[in-house]
């Protein structure tokens, strides 16, 4: 083997080693980062992900009647106890009804089950629909059953009245509402906001 051929083979091997090193140390790490920030199309969107914390997460779902449910959070983690349970912080949710109405829900925290869309909201929960505003400590939402159950320190307000109760159950399709107290001896406190000439 002459000297020229030996140099050419050495150069080719050197180039292959350099290319391999660049690929494994640079492109392989970049590929991992891209996987963590990829947008998924199976009803969820994950942005700026990390191994433990996911930021700016949004889930979208739709029932067989055309009603849609969107929930998003600033910070989320997958529950270590169940992979289908997402633990969320700083949560906002919107229910888009087929009649054009929207129901807005916000809370400090929520547990979202991605298999059935059941969501438990906790901490400074607020639900707004039409001209009605309901605040509570907790809210259990069953999107499948079109039912929202607000409980613990419930305060309701509309243009006509305010009320305090232990629990309010709202069917958000037909707007049927049931108001309950934990103790049957306690009564729901209702105040009218309508002013008449004597007020």
Q: Which helix (H) or strand (E) holds 132?
A: strand 132-142
Distance CA 58, CA 71 (A): 6
In this predicted structure, what is the pLDDT of residue 118?
93
Do residues 149 and 178 both lie within one domain? yes
Q: How many CB atoms lie within 10 A of CB 125?
A: 26
Does residue 31 belong to any structural domain of this protein? yes
Does residue 109 belong to any structural domain of this protein? yes
Tell me the β-bridge partners of 54: 49, 76
Q: Which helix (H) or strand (E) holds 6?
A: helix 3-22
Q: What is the CATH number of the domain that holds 122?
A: 2.60.450.10
pLDDT in tens, 7-19: 777 778 877 787 7
Do residues 129 and 175 both lie within one domain? yes
C-alpha separations of 76 from 12, 88, 111 in Å: 49, 4, 9
Predicted TM-score (pTM) of the model is 0.68
Do residues 26 and 64 both lie within one domain? no
Do residues 21 and 82 both lie within one domain? no
Say yes or no to pLDDT of 37 above 60: no
Do residues 161 and 78 both lie within one domain? yes
Does residue 199 belong to any structural domain of this protein? no
Does residue 185 belong to any structural domain of this protein? yes
In this predicted structure, what is the pLDDT of residue 119?
95
pLDDT in tens, 155-189: 988 888 888 888 999 888 887 888 888 776 666 65
Do residues 72 and 133 both lie within one domain? yes
Do residues 169 and 186 both lie within one domain? yes
Name the residue among 153, 178, 157 with its Cα closest to residue 168: 178
Residue 18 lies in domain: 1-37
Do residues 150 and 62 both lie within one domain? yes
Does residue 197 belong to any structural domain of this protein? no
pLDDT in tens, 42-96: 444 444 444 567 888 888 988 888 889 999 999 899 888 888 899 999 999 999 9
Does residue 129 belong to any structural domain of this protein? yes
Do residues 54 and 19 both lie within one domain? no
Does residue 61 belong to any structural domain of this protein? yes
């Amino acid at each position: 083997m002459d000297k020229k051929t030996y140099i050419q083979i050495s150069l080719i091997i050197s180039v292959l080693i350099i290319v391999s090193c660049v690929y494994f140390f640079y492109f392989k790490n970049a590929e991992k980062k891209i996987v963590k920030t990829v947008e998924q199309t199976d009803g969820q969107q994950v942005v700026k992900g990390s191994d433990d914390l996911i930021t700016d997460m949004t889930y979208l779902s739709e029932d067989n009647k055309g009603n849609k449910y969107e929930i998003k959070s600033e910070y989320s983690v997958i529950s270590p106890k169940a992979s289908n349970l997402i633990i969320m912080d700083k949560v906002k949710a919107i229910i888009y009804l087929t009649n054009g109405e929207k129901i807005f829900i916000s809370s400090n925290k929520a547990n979202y089950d991605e298999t059935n869309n059941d969501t438990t909201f906790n901490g400074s929960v607020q639900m707004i629909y039409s001209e009605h505003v309901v605040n509570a400590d907790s809210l259990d939402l069953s999107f499948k059953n079109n039912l929202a159950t607000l409980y613990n320190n419930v305060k309701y307000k509309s243009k006509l009245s305010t009320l305090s109760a232990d629990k309010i159950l709202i069917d958000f399709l037909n707007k049927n509402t049931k108001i309950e107290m934990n103790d049957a001896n306690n009564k729901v406190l209702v105040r009218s906001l309508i002013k008449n000439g004597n007020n």
